[in-house]
Amino acid sequence: MASVTLKSVSKRWGSVTAVDDVSLDIADGEFMVLLGPSGCGKTTTMRMVAGLDDPSEGDILIGDRVVNDLAPGDRDLAMVFQNYGLYPHMTVAENIGYPLKVARVGKAERTERVRAAAARVELEAYLERKPQALSGGQRQRVALARAIVRTPRLFLMDEPLSNLDAKLRVSMRAQLKHLQHELATTTIYVTHDQVEAMTLADRVAVMSKGKLQQVGAPLDIYNRPANVFVAGFLGNPSMNLIAAQAEGGRLIHAAFSLPADTVRPGKVFVGQRPEDMKVTEPEKGDFRGEVFSAELLGDAALITVRLNGDLVAVKAPKDVRARMGDVVGVSFDPAMLHLFDGQSGERLADRNGEAGKVTPFPQARGERHP
Amino acid sequence: MASRGKSLIGKVPLVILQLAIAFLVLAPFFWMLSVSLKPANEPFAIPARLWPDNPTLENYILAFRPEFRRYFLNSIIVSGATVLITVPLALLAAYSLTRYQFRILSVFLAAVILAQFFPAGAMIIPIYKMVKAANLLDTYASLIIAYITVTLPVAIWMLRGFLTRVPKTLEEAAAIDGARPLRAFFDIVIPLARPGIVATTVFVLIVTWQEFLFALSFTSTKEMRTLPVGMNDYIGQYGIRYGELMASSVMVSLPVIVIFFFLQRQFVSGLTAGAVKG
Ligand SMILES: Nc1ncnc2c1ncn2[C@@H]1O[C@H](COP(=O)(O)OP(=O)(O)OP(=O)(O)O)[C@@H](O)[C@H]1O
Ligand SMILES: [Mg+2]
Q: What distance in angstroms lies between residue A344's CA and the mean position of ligand 2's atoms? A: 27
pLDDT for the residue A350? 62
Q: In which region does residue A183 sit, left (phi positive, over 0), alpha (psi from -120 to 50) or beta (all else)?
A: alpha
User: Is B87's pLDDT higher than 50?
Assistant: yes
Cβ of A39 under 8 Å from any chain B Cβ? no
Cβ of A119 under 8 Å from any chain B Cβ? no
Residue of A nearest to B169 (CA): A85
In total, chain A counts a number of residues equal to 370
Q: Which residues of A touch B273 (CB under 8 A)?
A: 88, 132
CATH topology for the B64-273 domain: MetI-like fold (1.10.3720)
Strands (E), chain A: 4-13, 16-26, 31-35, 57-62, 65-66, 77-80, 154-158, 186-191, 203-208, 211-216, 240-247, 250-252, 257-259, 266-272, 278-280, 287-296, 300-307, 310-317, 327-331, 338-341
Q: Which residues of A touch B178 (CB under 8 A)?
A: 73, 99, 102-103
- Rounded to whole angstroms, the Cα distance separating A334 from A331 reads 9
Q: Which domains does chain A have, with CATH numbers?
A: 4-223 (3.40.50.300), 237-341 (2.40.50.140)
pLDDT for the residue B104? 77
**Residues A192/A197/A203/A209 CA torsion (nearest 10 deg):** 10
Query: What is the atom index within ligand 1 of the atom nearest the CA of A11?
Result: 12
Q: pLDDT below 50 — which residues of chain A?
A: 351-370
* Chain centre to alpha carbon of residue A261: 33
- Rounded to whole angstroms, the Cα distance separating B267 from B145 reads 28
User: Is B5's pLDDT higher than 80?
Assistant: no
Map out the domains of chain B as residue ranges: 1-56, 64-273
Which tens digits make up the pLDDT trace of B139-158? 889 899 989 988 898 898 88
Among A9, A13, A162, say which to mutate for ligand 1: greatest number of ligand atoms within 8 Å of CB. A13
pLDDT for the residue A155? 94
pLDDT for the residue A359? 35
ipTM of the predicted assembly exceeds 0.85? no
Which tens digits make up the pLDDT trace of B147-187? 998 889 889 888 988 898 888 999 999 999 999 999 999 99
Q: Which residue's CA lies nearest to atom 14 of ligand 1?
A: A41
pLDDT for the residue A364? 35
The residue among A13, A82, A84 with the most chain B CBs within 10 A of its CB, best to mutate, is A84
CB within 8 A of B209, min separation 6: which ones? B75, B79, B227, B252, B255, B256
Which tens digits make up the pLDDT trace of B224-278? 888 888 888 777 777 788 888 888 889 888 888 888 777 776 654 434 434 444 4
Identify the residue with better confidence: B53 or A147.
A147
pLDDT for the residue B90? 94
Looking at the complex, report in whole angstroms how far the Cα of residue A108 sits from the nearest Cα belonging to chain B: 19
Q: Which residue's CA lies nearest to atom 30 of ligand 1?
A: A39
pLDDT for the residue B270? 37
pTM (2 decimals)? 0.80
CB contact under 8 A, B274 and A139: yes
Question: What is the mean predicted confidence (pLDDT) over B91-117?
Answer: 81
Q: Which residues of B touch A129 (CB under 8 A)?
A: none
Which tens digits make up the pLDDT trace of A226-273? 999 999 999 888 999 999 998 888 888 988 888 877 677 889 999 999
